[in-house]
Structure 1
Amino acid sequence: MSSPVLEKPSTSETSYVLLYNVSWEQLEQLDVTLAGTSARLTYLDGILEIISPLSDDHEDYKKTLAMLLEVYMRAKNIRFYGRGSATIGKQEDKTRREPDESYNLGTKKSIPDLIVEITVTSGGINKLEIYQRLRVPEVWFWEDGLLSVYCLQGDSYIKVSKSTLLPDLNLDILAKCALMADQYDAVTEYSQIIAKE
């Protein structure tokens, strides 16, 4: 068994470390060792990304987007099950990831229908590759105030202008509300907008 190789040490500018040549067994050992810390692990084909700590901006946008999305789905009577950052992936697929937010629509399933990722630090492992292997139907990325939506079509993701799962959702209004300075005001304003639709 080879030893993991450190590619990029964490610095004040970055909040992640990449390790190469990490076996599944080593991943599981690190998972136990880092339990109770704020570290989040992402694994793909022997590459391990460790992110810690998550920034306040990351957590604020994650929670605000989740609240707005849930307001929308409740107002439109769309049955959903929030899965949060429940770990997905398996040894056979050589993948493991804790999404920022995730949802099942309609019924509970082992794999989320919709994943929301907040990108604050660039680089690292290609999350879409992980989600493609796991056949996640739709992935949203929030980066620099912009929301990008990717839908799984066949064996690859296509960037689209609107959600396939929630085709009536106006992503521009959702993003505008997510950028509001006050989370409470954002949810209140968005609720009022949705009520008028």
Structure 2
Amino acid sequence: MPPTAIATPDKATPLLFEGLTWREFKAIEQLLDRPGYRLSFLDGVLEIRRMPGEPHETVKKRIAALLELYLLMAGFDFTPTGSMTLESEGGAVKREADESYKLAPGRDRPDLAIEVVFSTGGLHKLEAYRRLQIKEVWFWEDGVLEVYHLRGANDALSYEKVATSEEVSGIDLALLLRCINMANHVEAVKTFQRSLRS
């Protein structure tokens, strides 16, 4: 009998190096530009995270396939920006989402960042995205999807956990999550597509 959900590997802990300047971080980043590793930076702390391989890629690509299907059918004029590097020297932050999207033309930065979490510890991801002013962040972890929306203005920005997406209006997050967690990719996409058409 085939599995009914995506298998998840044991969680790894990233390496953290404290007390770096932005300039030191940028020099290290050039030296450690290797496939399978992701570097992030926040407030002088360098995080080196080994990507967990196939399960991580399966979930992130599943989310992208389902979300892009919804965006197309719902009429969004969107641009997928993938794991585009987002950084701000003034904010002392660098982050790469697993997937990201500009949800309307003319945007300077993505409106939505998606994180697929297969590790523990590390930098405070929401703080990094707050400094980068990403309007909405989705976290998939252990078969659960959490959505955070940026509130406030200027120095008073903070994320609030929300039950529905404010950037991807109308999407059924319960249906999306059910399809993300299905074992078979084609069946997941077909199930989601059938539900969108009905």
Q: Considering the TM-score relative to the shorter chain, is it more than 0.5?
A: yes
Cα distance change of structure 1 residues 108 and 23 upon mapping to structure 2, 3 Å threshold: same
Match of 1:140 in 2: 138
Alpha-carbon contact 1:15-1:53 (below 8 Å) kept? no
Match of 2:3 in 1: none
Letter in 1 for 2:32: L
| Bigger relative CO (Cα 8 Å, ≥ 6 apart) | 2
1:56 deviates by 1.9
| 1:61-81, Cα deviation, whole Å (9 max, x unpaired) | 111001100000011111110
Alpha-carbon contact 2:19-2:45 (below 8 Å) kept? yes
Letter in 1 for 2:170: D
1:37 deviates by 2.8
The ranges of structure 1 where at least 4 consecutive aligned residues each deviate by more than 4 angstroms after the TM superposition are: none
1:157 deviates by 0.4
Distance 2:106 2:182 in 1: 32
Letter in 2 for 1:188: K
Alpha-carbon contact 1:18-1:50 (below 8 Å) kept? yes
Number of aligned residue pairs: 185
Please show how residues 115-194 of structure 1 align to structure 2 within 5 Å: 115-154=113-152, 155-194=157-196
Match of 2:25 in 1: 27
Aligned with 2:169: secondary structure?
Answer: coil
Aligned with 2:147: secondary structure?
Answer: strand
In structure 1, stretches of 5+ residues that fail to align are 1-11
Root-mean-square deviation over aligned CA pairs = 1.4
Q: 77-86 or 106-115: which moved more? A: 106-115
Match of 1:53 in 2: 51
1:108 deviates by 4.1
Letter in 2 for 1:115: A
| 1:106-149, Cα deviation, whole Å (9 max, x unpaired) | 11423110011011112110110011111111000001111100
Match of 1:5 in 2: none
